[in-house]
Amino acid sequence: MHWKTILRITSLLVVIFSFNFIPPLGVSLFYGDGHWGTFGLSWLIVAVIGVLFWLPVRGDRKELMVRDGFLVVALFWTVLGLVGSLPFMFGLGMTATDAVFESISGFTTTGATVILGLDELPRSILYYRQQLQWLGGMGVVVLAVAILPMLGIGGMQLYKAEVSRVTADDKLTPRLMHTARALWAIYLTLTIACALAYWLAGMTPFDAIGHAYTTVATAGYSTHDASMGYFDSVAIELIAIVFMLLGGINFALHFLVWRSRDVRVYLRTPEARVFLGLFLAATMAIAGGLAFVGTYDSVLESLRYAAFQTVAVLTTTGYGTATFAEWPLYIPLVLASLSFIGGCAGSTAGGMKVVRIMLLFKQGAREVNATIHPHAVYRVKLGDRAVPEQVVQAVWGFYTVYILAALVLTGLNMAMGLDMESAFGATIASLNLLGPGLGEVATTFAHQSDPVKWMASFAMLMGRLEVFTLLILFTFAFWRN
């Protein structure tokens, strides 16, 4: 392990992250809410800590190994999630547990919250929450498209090819820099377009910018307790649906569409087709259930709420125009299942990712065919491309560990006093990065005990880091020379 290099990179990231407190400081001065000192003090503390750790190792220039990469990625999300909690402690007087929960939930783009009374919060604090999720989304884009494929997490080496189509440079640092610039340009463009659309649809500039941040990041924080339901606007909901879907698609694919100027690239990609098909099929199934029971006054109204909640859950954004946990029949189970699937690989969404579910189904079909025709040779394919056997096996391994983690987390939540529905709801809210859950955590974690909140924070990091990246740090083999 190259400890000095790891410390240099981590401390440098902390210094860079400290500038995250400057925009909300400006917002505080603009609105005169009196919290500029909260962000000034946070910036000073975090910047000084980062510099103090960076100075002794600033000259180290060793090349990172793959094993170092696992630790750097885990430290990036954990450390920045921790230091991001300072404004919540200084500005709102939150306990360390609540502040860390809110910060990690924001930075991992989960969207679960312990804050009640959002409508009365200072504008600078509201802006900071939204910005935190947007910055987390920027990190996710590079993590998912550029870093995890190189580490080979859960079959994501499959996407090395996609990364190479974004940049032709094979060297690690130039590739990451080039990839990051290209993807962030797309991310920023989508954010600006979303903010303008929200503003034209009737949001205030403050709400439009804040919700654009968390829509493109598929993150889910809102500036209002009622989330998107506060606006009660079909136009705003349609805009949110479009940009949540865009946030749930592989950002490398957005790059290819931009470079080719051909939107048909989306429909030629198997994963994107299945993702959009899931959205349409689930919307119809849920709207049908709502209309059958008569939850809403008309079929169109049922379709409106079903479409919005389906895309909010499938992309693990977590926005709400209704509390889906209270919907009748099979609907909460369908939506909970969608959160396990999540968005496309290389997107800001959580869950196991559509491509992995596709490979699991294709592998299952291959086993059925092999049982019927034992001497035939079947290959698992995505489109016209054969998938290497080691990738298929990696996906099976990822699926097994992910489901096992969900079961263990649910059991631990029950051991901490939650009933089964709430325990499972807390798991899907945190591990799948969904935000809202079921039962007692359908809308907030505010009333849960500290152990439940710490467990959820750990689950958020696990879900954001694709499980293996975090769990591998707890193995003896990782630390063995």
| pLDDT for 360 | 93
At residue 201, does pLDDT exceed 90?
yes
pLDDT score at 69: 78
Q: Does the pLDDT at position 169 exceed 90?
A: no
Question: Do 88 and 105 form a contact (C-beta atoms < 8 A)?
Answer: no
- Per-residue confidence (pLDDT) for residue 8, from 0 to 100: 87
Contact between 252 and 166 under an 8 Å Cβ cutoff? The reply is: yes
Q: What is the pLDDT of residue 41?
A: 97
Select from 72, 42, 103 the least CA-distant residue to 454.
103
pLDDT in tens, 251-272: 888 988 888 888 988 988 899 9
Q: How far apart are CA 431 and CA 275, in angstroms?
A: 20
CA dihedral defined by 286, 289, 293, 297, rounded to 10 degrees? 50
- pLDDT tens per residue, range 127-148: 999 999 999 988 876 765 555 5
Among 67-81, 169-183, 462-476, which is the least confidently predicted range?
169-183
pLDDT at 354: 94
CB atoms within 10 A of CB 424: 22
- pLDDT recorded at residue 161: 40
Q: Which pTM value belongs to this model?
A: 0.91
How far is residue 75's CA from residue 62's CA, in Å, rounded to a whole number? 18
Looking at residue 144, its pLDDT comes to: 52
Residue 151 confidence (pLDDT) above 70: no
Q: Is 316 annotated as a binding residue?
A: yes
pLDDT at position 309 is: 97
Q: Rounded mean pLDDT of 177-183? A: 73
- The pair phi, psi for residue 45, each rounded to 5°, is -65, -50
Query: What is the distance between the alpha carbons of residues 481 and 479, in angstroms, rounded to a whole number?
Result: 6
Cβ 133 vs Cβ 219: under 8 Å:
yes
Residue with tokens 């750790």, as numbered in its chain: 53
Q: Which of 358, 345, 337 is nearest to 248 (CA)?
A: 345
The answer to whether 317 is annotated as binding is: yes
Task: Examine the pLDDT at 159 and tell me if it is beyond 90.
Answer: no
The rounded mean pLDDT for the chain is 89
CA–CA separation, 183 vs 464, rounded Å?
Answer: 18
Average of pLDDT values for 362-388? 86
Among 154-158, 208-212, 325-329, top mean pLDDT goes to: 208-212
CA torsion angle for 80, 83, 88, 94 (degrees, to 10)? 120
Lowest mean pLDDT segment, chosen from 111-115, 138-142, 244-248? 138-142
pLDDT of 175: 58
- Gyration radius of the chain over CA positions: 22
Amino acid residing at 145: V
pLDDT category at 164 given cuts 50, 70, 90 is very low
pLDDT over threshold 50, residue 391: yes
d(CA 317, CA 217): 8
Q: What is the C-alpha to C-alpha distance for residues 102 and 111, in angstroms, rounded to an integer? A: 8
Using DSSP, state whether 260 is helix, strand or coil.
helix
pLDDT greater than 90 at residue 380 = no
Q: What's the pLDDT score for residue 32?
A: 96
Helix 66-83 × helix 96-107 angle, to 10°: 130
Q: State how far the Cα of 3 lies from the Cα of 57, in Å rounded to an integer.
A: 9
Q: Is 444 annotated as a binding residue?
A: no
Q: Are 144 and 155 in contact (CB under 8 A)?
A: no
Task: Quote the percentage of the chain above a pLDDT of 70.
Answer: 92
For residue 170, pLDDT beyond 60: no
Alpha helix stretches (DSSP H) within 294-388: 299-314, 331-341, 354-372
